[in-house]
Every structure is written in structure tokens, then in C-alpha cells.
Amino acid sequence: MIKKSNSFFKILFSSACLVSGSAMAVPITDLGKQIVSEKPGSILSLERQDVTDLFPHADQRLLVNYRSRGIQGEPIVASAFILLPKGTPPKNGWPILAWAHGTTGVADTCAPSGDYVGGPVHSYQEVASKALDGWLARGYAVVAPDYQGLGTLGAHPYMNAKSQLHTVVDAVRALHVLKPKDFNKQWLVMGHSQGGAAAIAVAAYGQKDAPELDLKGAIALAPGGYQYEGIAKYVLSHPNPEPSVAAFFPIVLLGAQAAEPSIVPENLVSPEMNTVLTQARSRCLSELQSDLKKSPSSIFRPDADLKPLLAYLKQQSIENMVPTVPLLIVQGSKDHLVDPRGTSAYYQQLCKSKKPTIYQTIDGGDHRDALRQSNTFATSFLNILEKNQTKSYCSNFK
């Protein structure tokens, strides 16, 4: 079912969506056609939300349910929140930043658009909001998709490259359906962790997937997914890993099952690990990590056939993706969740292919420092894009 809120289907606020304190000059027409349309980006519902103090440079916050595409291109419903900057749109419209969030879990309660104070994703959203507010201050509109199956019908195919590509690109399309003249065709994508991999997928396939839009560049902050099958191999070779790893791994398994139903996690994990797996269906990552004080004595069954799982995970690895737009990678050197060696290896791979890529190391930085410090690096990256200086391959900020 489509995500519901306190005022579900208050579409267009009585046929006129409030922008900059006044009704839109041209509201969306043919709403009936929009609702039944399978066209990517079609708006299914739209509701105004309160702007919290997390976003001091936001004029409005909107919750949107929109039509997107699943793994096989099938029509799905996805959700996102939209942040509009203060003031009136410039002559050519606000440029757009698409924000791809990091790992929150696979349960519907883990959708960032449903965040609330004290909620399971709020501590992460507090960090992300500072980065996003910086883009609002620059005069960008921000659209932040939840990904397939987070807050909407169906399971979440965690880290599936096609699914994440589709929900991000189609969220940008939804903005142009909302009010085309208010938004510029130029857009960027920025993502952290899981979202860093999503940003790389958009950098690789976004131009081809949405040729009517003008993707200018991508920012991947501590991107996960290099040799993605390695997480399963690690757990196999470390049957009693740290509790944080044991709490995270069910998300990998359930995401793989959502994309490839022939992968049945219950047939792979030990009875003890199956308890954690069951919890992961309804709990977010922060809750799982808080609840799990001791790892199961073993993760996999001794006779588990891991070949289908490993093959699927390998297909989602970022080393399969070659960006077609300039890419900025930011990575903390002391990140214990995303191995900096893998991120660096991917960067070197792109260097050899002579792709315009910039790699920024944060000395001593942890997993969230890439997000915390992203505004500084984003400003430099935007200056490089504006001056068309991205042809200097394999460069680092000084």
C-alpha cells in the first residue's frame, strides 16, 4: 500500500500546492491520470509537512509518493521528502540535489521521510540534515528518496544497483512533474554509505536512464559496495564477528532476498542467527545494534550453499560501475564500516580508465565524518564543475 500520513491523499493541498508561501500559479492537472499512470516520476500523493529546526534554510518540506521502477523496471510506488529553499525560484529554476541516504534498515519504520525526534533513524538524520541544509543555503532544491520498499509496499532490495538508480532518478523526475518551471534540468546526486553506492550507480547510468535531465556530477561519501560479496565471505571466515557486524548482516541477507527470492536467508543462517534475522524484518539498524549485546556463536549453517548469495552480491559491487559524469569520493581513513582500502582501490580503477574523479581522504575520519565534512568538499567540487576543470583525472583537493 502507498505510504500513509495523518492526512493521506491531501493531494496538492486542494489542487494548489503551496510554494514560497503562495499557491502555485499552475497546479498539477489531470490528477486521475497521474494516479493511475505508470510513467516514472508521476505523483501519486503530495502533502506539506512542518519544517523543523534541522533545516533552517528550508522554506517548505513536502512528502511525496511517486511512481518509480523496481529491479526489472516494473512500476512501483516510492516515497521521498522534498525540501525547497527560501525565496523565489531563479529565472531558470532551482537546481536539484538528489540525496541518497545511508543504511537505516529494511523495515518500513526505517524510511527517513518518516523520521521523528527519538525515532530509530533520527540520530542519522541529524547528521544528514546539516549537510542537506548547506545545499539549501546554496539555492538548491533537495529531494530525498527512501528507496524501494522503505515506507511503501514490498520489501527493500538493499544495495540493489538498479533499484537505487531508479528511485533516485524518478524522484528528480517527480520534482519536474510537480512544477517544471520552478526546477532546473541541472542536478547532482550525493549519497553516503549505501547511498554512496547509489550515487555511483546514478553517476554510471543516470544520464542514459534520464536523458531529458542534465546530470552534472556525483558525490559519493564513504561509499559501500566495493567487492560487496566480501561481507559474506568475511562472516563465513569469522563465524563469531563483532555484534555490530552480526546486527548489520541480516540487512544484507534480506535485501538480497527482496531482489532475488530464490535466496532464502532462513536456509542459510544458524538457528541462533535466525532470531536476529527475524528482528531485522521489523527493526532498524540502530535498534538492532543497540539490542544485540552478544553475537551468535555462528552465522551460517555448516551446510549452507552460499554460491547464489555470493553471485548476487558480486553483481551489485561498485567496481562494475563506470561513471559518465565527474565524481567526488570522500572517505575517512579510520572508517571501520567501509574499508578505505576498497574505496581507494575503486578510485584507482577509475583513474586507469581516465574518468574524471576526485578522491578526498579525511585523516582520522570515521564513517560519518565523510558526511559531516561534505559541505566543504562539495563547495570545492561545485567550483571545479563550474570552471569545467574536471578533465584533470585522478586529482585530490589540496
Asked if the model's pLDDT at residue 396 lies above 50, the reply is yes
Q: Is 2 a domain residue?
A: no
Cell (9 digits) for 368: 560519518
DSSP secondary structure of 332-387: ETT-SSS-HHHHHHHHHHHHHTT--EEEEEETT--TTHHHHTHHHHHHHHHHHHHT
DSSP single-letter state for residue 160: -
CA distance 331 to 345: 12
CA distance 201 to 195: 9
Q: Domain span at residue 121?
A: 12-226+319-386
Residue 278 shares a structural domain with residue 328: no
Domain boundary among 267, 294, 315: 315
pLDDT of residue 103: 98
Q: Is 23 a domain residue?
A: yes
Residue 358 shares a structural domain with residue 301: no
**pLDDT digits 0-9 by tens, 264-311:** 999 999 999 999 999 999 999 999 999 999 999 999 999 999 999 999
**pLDDT digits 0-9 by tens, 209-249:** 999 999 999 999 999 999 999 999 999 999 899 999 999 99
Sign of the Cα torsion 189, 195, 199, 202 reads negative
Lookup result for grid cell 526505517: 110
pLDDT of residue 258: 98
pLDDT of residue 28: 40
pLDDT of residue 194: 98
Residue 133 shares a structural domain with residue 203: yes
- φ/ψ of residue 257, rounded to 5: -65, -40
**pLDDT digits 0-9 by tens, 20-46:** 332 232 334 444 555 567 899 999 999
Task: State the average pLDDT over residues 111-123.
Answer: 96
CA distance 34 to 32: 5
Q: Is 173 a domain residue?
A: yes
- φ/ψ of residue 323, rounded to 5: -60, 145
CATH code for position 176: 3.40.50.1820
Q: Which amino acid is at 59?
A: D
Asked if the model's pLDDT at residue 354 lies above 60, the reply is yes
Residue 101 shares a structural domain with residue 209: yes
CA distance 198 to 189: 9
Domain boundary among 287, 315, 343: 315
CA angle 63, 64, 70 (to 5 degrees): 135
Residue 214 shares a structural domain with residue 262: no
pLDDT of residue 312: 98
pLDDT of residue 390: 64
pLDDT of residue 17: 36
Residue 33 shares a structural domain with residue 92: yes
* Closest of 100, 19, 96, 109 to residue 62, by C-alpha: 19
Domain boundary among 299, 315, 331: 315
Q: Is 78 a domain residue?
A: yes
pLDDT of residue 38: 84
Q: Is 392 a domain residue?
A: no
Q: Is 4 a domain residue?
A: no
Percentage of the chain lying above the pLDDT 90 cut: 86
Which H or E run contains 122? helix 122-137
Exposed / middle / buried, residue 112 (Cβ in 10 Å: 0-12, 13-18, 19+)? buried
Residue 184 shares a structural domain with residue 52: yes
Asked if the model's pLDDT at residue 366 lies above 50, the reply is yes
* Closest of 336, 396, 340, 324 to residue 366, by C-alpha: 336
Helix axes 122-137, 374-386, angle to 10 degrees: 30
* Closest of 199, 206, 249 to residue 221, by C-alpha: 199
Q: Is 395 a domain residue?
A: no
Asked if the model's pLDDT at residue 329 lies above 80, the reply is yes
b/e for 288-303, b at 16 or more Cβ within 10 A? Answer: bbeebeebbeebbbee
Q: How many domains does the chain have?
A: 2
Residue 103 shares a structural domain with residue 178: yes
Residue 16 shares a structural domain with residue 135: yes
Q: Is 382 a domain residue?
A: yes
The mean predicted confidence, pLDDT, of the chain is: 90
Residue 53 shares a structural domain with residue 197: yes
pLDDT of residue 244: 94
Read off the pLDDT band of 388 (50, 70, 90).
confident
pLDDT of residue 155: 97
Residue 202 shares a structural domain with residue 56: yes
Read off the pLDDT band of 393 (50, 70, 90).
low
Q: Mapping DSSP to helix (H, G, I), strand (E, B) and coil, where does residue 16 land?
A: coil
Residue 89 shares a structural domain with residue 217: yes
